[in-house]
Amino acid sequence: PRCGDPLSDSPSLCRGRQRELLEGCVGALSSFGDEQDLGVAAERLRLARRHLGRITGHVGAEDVLDIIFRDFCVGK
């Protein structure tokens, strides 16, 4: 949720988790423009998209796999 009145003041993110994800997105994008290696640039865009997806509720297959391998003993 946004806090404050957007007509009189800039809205801000209320939750710390959202703020951290947005900062991660900005960090990935801020170094994107200076990158010469297309593979690294693509990875930075992917990370930025992933941060935004977590804010908006979009969960991709990669996120599900990360949780499965982090939280369960798969293949051990």
The DSSP element (H or E) to which 39 belongs, if any, is: helix 38-56
Sign for the CA dihedral angle at 49, 52, 54, 59 comes to: negative
Going by pLDDT thresholds of 50, 70 and 90, the confidence category of residue 1 is: very low
Per residue in 7-63, pLDDT tens?
Answer: 666 556 667 888 888 899 999 888 877 778 888 888 888 888 888 888 888 877 777
pTM here is 0.60
Question: What's the CA gap between 27 and 33, in Å, rounded?
Answer: 11
Reading the block at residue 49, the tokens are 């998209």
